[in-house]
Amino acid sequence: MTKSILLAGFGGQGILFCGKFLAYKALIEGKEVSWLPSYGPEMRGGTCNCSVIMSDRQIGSPIITNPDILVAMNLPSLDKFENDVIPGGQIYVDSTLIERKVQRDDVEVFYIPATKMASDNGMRTLANMIITGNIIKHCGDIPHENIDAAMAKVVSAKHQDLLDVNISAVELGYNY
Amino acid sequence: MAEKVLMKGNEALAEAAIMAGCRHYFGYPITPQTEVAAYMSKKMPKIGGTFLQAESEIAAINMVLGVASTGKRVMTSSSSPGISLKSEGLSYLAGCDLPALVVNVQRGGPGLGGIQPSQSDYFHATRGAGHGDFHMIVLAPSNVQEMVDLTFKGFDLADKYRMTSMILADGTMGQTMEPVSLEMGEVKTYDKPWATTGTKMERPHNIVNSLFLKPEILEEENFKRYERYKKIEETEALYDEYMMDDAEICVVAFGIAARVSHNAIDEARKAGIKVGMIRPITLWPFPKAALKAASEKVKAFISVELSMGQMVEDIDLAIRCAKPVLLCNRVGGMIPTVKNVYDSIMQANEIGGDR
Amino acid sequence: MAVVFDKPHALTDAPFHYCPGCTHGIVHRLVAEAIDELGIEGRTIGIAPVGCSVMAYDYFNCDMIEAAHGRAPAVATGVKRSDPENIVFTYQGDGDLASIGTCETVHAAARNENITIIFINNAIYGMTGGQMAPTSLPGQITQTSPYGRDVEKVGYPLKICELLSNVDGASYVERVAVNNVKNVKAAKKAILHAFRNQVEGKGFSLIEVLSTCPTNWGLTPDKALKWLEDNMIPYYPLGVYKDRYSGEEK
């Protein structure tokens, strides 16, 4: 099993964070992983993306040209990466922020109103984790396990009070 | 075995340096290696070490020279344009036979270039790091674990041979996060009777110097240095082989280019092409013997690089131009895609079998 | 038999290579005497970069480092940070300190690096054969200002002590001269003070020493001393420019 996941959105949406969560979760599950952010001026306010690969074998390039899974958390990201997803792959769309539909018919698409859900549930900044929960539900290769342990690794020491709400957000997305 | 942790290449490298006993870091801000300096600025004060943001790259490398003169482990890190500025200091470090670790997280050039990954400082690192006859040991990590392992090794080789080790990384290796083990083993220490730590009125004064106005003596200094280099070339070349047993085509790549090539080789193997890879881990000394041996078996080589064919020269020299060497490259911050490399493998496969 | 005059222990027996009448010898001696008097030779590291004094490593008995042109304050920073208990001095000329190494000098001062800098200002590049220095006087004829230093075209000399006295980090900055006995005595006091400051952890000290270069000035040694007095001292007034711990600022 090798899964490549491209997460993309605006800076500030927690794109890198949920990439780290997925990477750590896979590491705990004994997988090889790589996590590569876009960097440079892009980091400052513009679009932001990060590539996560998890595999049973040694990972070749950490760069993803054609992801198995695309997470689009804003329109520019969907416009930019929609056509790169491999046929048969999956696209997760934050349908609160992206009004249009995915145009391809050879991929599986999940529309999650993650930003609205987050806001409705008093977890305004956690749309990223809601989508992550939904990936866990539909992906097939990412077990619904080790969420607490992985979260503990990626939530920094000074933000431990946010641990539970992050886990709740993942569960909310999983149960959507 | 120690638990593996996820770390960014730049931070893993910095932590490895600390574990190798480096307590002095000097640098100047430049993208894309800032995490190294940031990590050091956080850690060094807590362990009684020095983090100093120098007024310039030139000052930073000379501060490195100062600490190196006292026999302690010391490093600086920068990216391509900053490394150009450090060139003067690199030459002086060589002329004074001082050990140091210098990290170059390369970006596209020349000039101010860009900030995306590159390998276009290959010539600078392996041939022309400054004026005069000298070499640096050049280590090219291809994953985050190697950012750790080669940093550790770099310090050791620097001390062992009294010279500069350079970690020649690229933006991708610096930014990628992968699981690493930080279990490093013991730090080997070396006697440094030449260090300028004060005579204590117990010995003649030590002099750290690269000035030799008598040509006979300067010649002798160079000859002696190259005796050491010869030994390094014979004993310290490192490389990794992938699927070379039955290979008819040999990809040569390091750093991120090797990672991409790895995928392309897997694809080509699926298509029945007998292709493998020799991945130099030391760029100086270049693993000449491995390539020479491969040249007896394969029909062609492909140099996959993020530069304009700089490594082709080393491959040609290593194999004495015995076989064709194709170039598969992207530059300016672009990275060869798996398809780029795959296409080159297919092209190499067309070459007639003059085996 | 009583010894009435002796060579400082901190100087080696190697004969100086300096030209007749050059004042480097005097300043070397003053530095060595300061090292002797403070009893710090065994823990002193000297740094001499490119310039006439580049071979100072042959003349001082303490550990020595030869540095790249202008970089001595950076090298000294490394040495001092590595072994803070050691005493670190640099010995730099005017081209070195006030031209190619201005950046390193000013920033070492800004950091209040606990080092001692001996700055030889003889208004000319000696080692390379008499080119215009950053401190060459307006109108001064040199190999590369054959019609005299034209300040309209090449700018004005840098007054290092005045400059550094405005750097908050600098602890002690004084300008002295070695053109007569009285001034040599004052120079000795200043150099000793600069080393003692470091021993006491008082930070960055720089002593600018107005010196002669008879060879490249094209003057006999005695006329060179006179030229220094008549031309350099009026342009570069002697005195303490900053001394954080005594308050007597000029």
- A86 Cβ contact list (under 8 Å, min separation 6): A66, A67, A68
The whole-number pLDDT of residue C69 equals: 97
Decide yes or no: CATH 3.40.920.10 for domain A2-174.
Answer: yes
What residues of chain B lie within 8 A of the CB of A61, using their CB? 256, 259-260, 262-263, 338
Q: Residues 51-90, chain A: which have Cβ within 8 Å of B?
A: 58-63, 65
The whole-number pLDDT of residue A87 equals: 98
Chain B residue with Cα closest to A54: B178
pLDDT tens profile C229-239: 999 999 999 99
Boundaries of every domain in chain B? 5-235, 239-350
Q: Under an 8 A CB cutoff, do C66 and B209 touch?
A: yes
* Architecture of the CATH domain B239-350: 3-Layer(aba) Sandwich (3.40)
pLDDT beneath 50, residues of chain A: none
Boundaries of every domain in chain A? 2-174
Chain C residue with Cα closest to B60: C74
Closest partner CB to B198 (pick from C45, C77, C103): C45
Q: Under an 8 A CB cutoff, do C41 and B55 touch?
A: no
* C-alpha closest to that of B173 among B255, B94, B250: B255
Handedness of CA B236, B238, B244, B250 (dihedral sign): negative
Distance CA C224, CA C211 (A): 9
Helix (H, G, I), strand (E, B) or coil at C26: helix
What residues of chain B lie within 8 A of the CB of C66, using their CB? 96, 207-211
Distance CA C191, CA C119 (A): 11
- A15 Cβ contact list (under 8 Å, min separation 6): A7, A8, A9, A48, A49, A50, A71, A73, A128
What residues of chain B lie within 8 A of the CB of A35, using their CB? 6, 176-178
Task: Report residue B274's pLDDT band, with 50, 70 and 90 as the boundaries.
Answer: very high
Q: Is the pLDDT of residue C39 over 60?
A: yes
Distance CA B330, CA B315 (A): 18
The complex scores an ipTM of: 0.94
pLDDT tens profile C55-87: 999 999 999 999 999 999 999 999 999 999 999
Q: Is the pLDDT of residue B2 over 70?
A: no
**C109 at B interface, C-beta within 8 A:** no
Give me B161's structure tokens: 């041979």
Helix (H, G, I), strand (E, B) or coil at C132: strand
Distance CA C159, CA C235 (A): 9
Q: Under an 8 A CB cutoff, do B31 and A40 touch?
A: yes
* C-alpha closest to that of A173 among A123, A147, A137, A119: A137
Give the pLDDT mean for B229-253: 98
Topology match between the domains B5-235 and B239-350? yes
Could you list the beta-strand ranges (E) of A12-162: 32-37, 47-55, 69-72, 90-94, 108-112
Distance CA C140, CA C133 (A): 10
The whole-number pLDDT of residue C250 equals: 47
Distance CA C115, CA C206 (A): 8
> What are the two backbone dihedrals, phi and then psi, of residue C124, each rounded to the nearest 5 degrees?
-165, 155
Q: Under an 8 A CB cutoff, do B206 and C76 touch?
A: no
* C-alpha closest to that of B136 among B106, B108, B168, B113: B168
Q: Under an 8 A CB cutoff, do B175 and A36 touch?
A: yes
pLDDT tens profile C2-20: 888 899 999 999 999 999 9
Domains of chain C: 24-243 (3.40.50.970)
pLDDT tens profile A107-155: 999 999 999 999 999 998 999 999 999 999 999 999 999 999 999 999 9
The whole-number pLDDT of residue A44 equals: 54
B5-235 topology per CATH: Rossmann fold (3.40.50)
**C75 at B interface, C-beta within 8 A:** yes
The chain B residues in contact with chain A (CB within 8 A) are: 4, 6, 31-32, 115-116, 171-172, 175-179, 256, 259-260, 262-263, 266, 335, 337-339
What residues of chain A lie within 8 A of the CB of B266, using their CB? 60
The whole-number pLDDT of residue B355 equals: 43
Give me B36's structure tokens: 């190294």
What residues of chain B lie within 8 A of the CB of A63, using their CB? 172, 256, 259-260, 335
- Do A and C touch, 3+ Cβ pairs within 8 Å? The answer is no
